[in-house]
Amino acid sequence: MGCVGLSVGIGNVWRFPYLAYQNGGGAFLIPYLIMLTLAGKPMYFMELAFGQFGGTGPLTIWNCAPIAKGVGAAMIAV
């Protein structure tokens, strides 16, 4: 529960209604929820699993697979 609280933060709670209103209301919510379900949540749970089982951060854990070298930096950027 603490991870979710730190991830969301109070700034996002206040900013989301403003962004939804500025970008079309319901027309903004449908693509937002789809992308949250397809990309956001799996990436969040993958990062939590890496931290728990790997014991390292995203930059270090992805160095074990040279083909996925930039994935750790992308996870931090997103």
Confirm whether residue 8 is marked as ligand binding.
Answer: yes
Q: How far is CA 75 from CA 20, 28, 34, 52, 67, in A?
A: 24, 24, 19, 16, 15
Query: Per-residue pLDDT tens for 12-70?
Result: 777 888 888 888 888 888 888 898 889 888 888 887 888 888 887 777 877 777 887 78
Q: Specify the pTM.
A: 0.52
Q: Which residue segment(s) compose the domain that 14 sits in?
A: 2-77
- Residue 12, annotated as binding a ligand: yes
Burial class (CB in 10 A: 0-12, 13-18, 19+), 57: middle
Residue 63 annotated in ligand binding = no
pLDDT bin (cut points 50, 70, 90) of residue 1 is low
The predicted structure's pLDDT at residue 34:
92
Number of domains in the chain: 1
